[in-house]
Amino acid sequence: MQIKGISSEIEVIRSKRKTMSAEIRPDGKVVVRAPMRLANSEIERFLTEKAKVIEKHVRARLAENEQLAETRPFTEAEIRRMADMAAAIIPGRVEYFAGLMGVKYNRITIRNQKTRWGSCTTGGNLNFNCLLVMTPPEVLDSVVVHELCHILHHDHSKAFYADVYRVFPDYDRCDKWLKENGRLLIRRMTGE
């Protein structure tokens, strides 16, 4: 399928789902997931309406591929060193912000995750990506605050973000940094 304004190849995958979505793969290919019986004309209309946004993401992914080609993947030894650094830095940042917020947490785990920067279980266990030590310190802090706020709110509601911004007013700038730079760090770790 070709759509005016989208330079990439488009693949349509139909399944027993109710909604439609578009994904940009690492190679820049566009994958559209659509309900089984949805007419092709509806898929084309969706893609035409979203063409500018999709093309922007395709170009960003291709630019990221060029950057990745110019850098080397992290070695296992580098990833271990980052995990050690994260284990030395992150607990102190968690302790500081938890005290500031008045929240209690349980265990902190450092991982080399492929898709997440952090997570919080319903039991208050916190997980952080070791690559956070490769980000600016305020970006690391923004992820810590985000996960600590999940101890208070197990969702991304308005109340959740109100607490995030109360503790970390510069959250949007840090979140933007992760969206613009984080995937390249993760791809250097995974080699994908």
- pLDDT tens per residue across span 83-110: 999 999 999 999 999 999 999 999 999 9
Whether 81 and 29 map to the same domain: the answer is no
Average pLDDT, the chain: 90
Range of the domain at 186: 76-190
Whether 48 and 143 map to the same domain: the answer is no
Whether 96 and 29 map to the same domain: the answer is no
Where does a domain end: 49, 70, 91?
Answer: 70
The predicted model gives 28-54 an average pLDDT of 90
Q: Residue 170: inside a domain, yes or no?
A: yes
Q: What total of structural domains would you count in the chain?
A: 2
Whether 120 and 147 map to the same domain: the answer is yes
| Per-residue burial over 99-119, b = 16 or more CB atoms within 10 Å of its CB, e = otherwise | eebebebeebebebbeeebbb
Whether 93 and 184 map to the same domain: the answer is yes
- Interval 172-187: pLDDT, tens: 999 999 988 888 888 8
Is 90 exceeded by the pLDDT of residue 4? no
pLDDT tier at 24 (50, 70, 90 boundaries)?
Answer: confident
Spatial distance between the Cα atoms of 19 and 38, rounded to a whole number of angstroms: 10
